Structure 1
Amino acid sequence: MSQTPLGGLIADDRTNAAIAWLLVVAIAAIGVAAFLTGGVLWATFAAVLVTLAVLPPIAFRSSLVMLPWEVLLLAGLPVLGLAVGSDRLTGHFTSYLSVAAIALVVAVELQLFTSVRMTPGFAVVFVVVTTMATAGLWALLRWSVAQTLGIPFTADHDAVMWEFVYSALAGLGAGVVFELYFRRFARHDQRLRDRSATITEADDG
């Protein structure tokens, strides 16, 4: 398995895998329910997230190899909010935090499965820019669906502009959080290497 700074976020751990799979099943079930009740956009969102989540275990042929459950939880908050009927969890700010988490997942999987190589710092920039760009794409997608289904597009100009503000704040906030997350992960990884080196030296002695 890749040991690059980003690739190392893919964990081979039973506890992490158990929680992550529970989240994947919940997100998939809520997505199916949303599709059956006409929630095409949220069903699509859930399908994309589930697809990204199951790529690592499929690629490494192990159900234990999963993304960090914290990242999946953040990415799935709006979908999980549908199940509990929480407007806060399905609001614009939370939705763009979720997009930021998905952008991090995409960055990790690009690092693992393609020739693309990113440093943690560049990954943070990627998350911020992707989150802000998604605001425009999300508004365009909602407008296109509304036109296709013949229903009014309820967001006016000011509402769309506020969505851009929310996306910028969410992207920047997520960037800071992910930078701290990378640092914590790096410190944990360094402690494991130091411990392993100490054990090896003791065995050699």
Structure 2
Amino acid sequence: MARRAGTLDRVVEDERVNAGLGWALVAFLALVATEEVLDGNLLWAGFSMFVAGVAVVPSVAYRDWTAMLPWEVLAMSALPILGRALANEVFASQVATYLSVAALALVVAVELHAFTPVEMTDWFAVLFVVVATIATAGVWAVVQWLSDIYLGTAFIHSEHRLMWDFVAATVVGGMAGVVFEWYFRRFARVETRLPDHAETLQRGDNS
């Protein structure tokens, strides 16, 4: 049994398998965005495509389709977006929004960790994800406000509700920070899934 588990670990950690799963999730995000467009929800369609665009930055930068984020982090970013698209209740939709914002911050953090020589201490890694989540929530609030003004939507109901949205995003960002530090930096073995040139840059070896 242990042998089978080890074999499965090696398969999932293979850079081509990881990239294949990652690209499948990017395609899934594109499908969700298409559905949002058909439903007339252009704001969330744009958000879904933005997450997909951020996910493919490493592949574009390295011109290598195998330079892809760990499929787990893409799954974490895709599921809240799908959940928000399928949610019927306002509360469920709001929870999915908070998770989506935190997931986008997590994608950025993992990209910095996996594809750049940037090094973070344990506490700063968590703080970075929290701050990135709050910043993303702030940008998202501005986008919603502009949508309400120019597209006639009604995303922002009150300043009181908006402040609680920031509080919720901060809490979820803290949880995402713990996931980033505990899983993606310690247990996911991101380096085994990178192409050789990406792993060299991550170590800061420019020779």
Letter matched to residue 136 of structure 1: G
Q: How does 1:8-23 map to 2 (within 5 A)?
A: 13-23=15-25
Amino acid at match of 1:101: A
Greater Rg over alpha carbons, structure: 1
User: Residues 31 and 79 of structure 1 are in contact (CA less than 8 Å); yes or no, is this contact kept in structure 2?
Assistant: no
What displacement does 1:174 show?
1.0
Paired residues in the alignment total: 178
Q: Is the Cα–Cα contact under 8 Å of residues 96 and 167 in structure 1 kept in the other structure?
A: yes
Unaligned 5+ segments in structure 2 are 1-12, 193-207
Residues 17-75 of structure 1, C-alpha deviations (whole Å, 9 max, x = no match)? 22211111111011122123321111111111111111222233332221011111111
- After superposition, what is the alpha-carbon deviation per residue over 1:116-138, rounded to whole angstroms, capped at 9, x for unaligned? 72315333211101212333332
Cross-structure match for 2:120: 119
Q: Distance in 1 between matches of 2:60 and 2:191?
A: 26
Contact 2:98 2:172 in 1 (8 A): yes
In structure 1, list runs of 5 or more residues that go unmatched. Answer: 1-10, 190-205
TM-score, structure 1 normalization: 0.72
Candidates 166, 174, 191, aligned match of 2:176 = 174
Match for residue 198 of structure 2? none
Identity %: 44
Report if the CA contact (8 A) 1:79-1:90 is conserved.
no
Q: d(CA) in 1 for partners of 2:83 and 2:48?
A: 12
TM-score where L is the length of structure 2: 0.71
C-alpha distance 150-104 of structure 1, shift in aligned 2 (>3 A): closer
Asked if 2 retains the 8 angstrom alpha-carbon contact of 1:88 and 1:94, the reply is no
1:140 aligned partner = 142
Partner of 2:51: 49
Three-state SS of the structure 2 residue aligned to 1:65 is: coil
Matched residues in 2 for 1:103 and 1:87: separation?
25
Task: Judge which range, 72-81 or 145-154, deviates more.
Answer: 145-154
Q: Deviations over 1:113-172 (max 9, x none)?
A: 77x723153332111012123333322221210110234455223321221221111011
Aligned-pair Cα RMSD in Å: 3.0
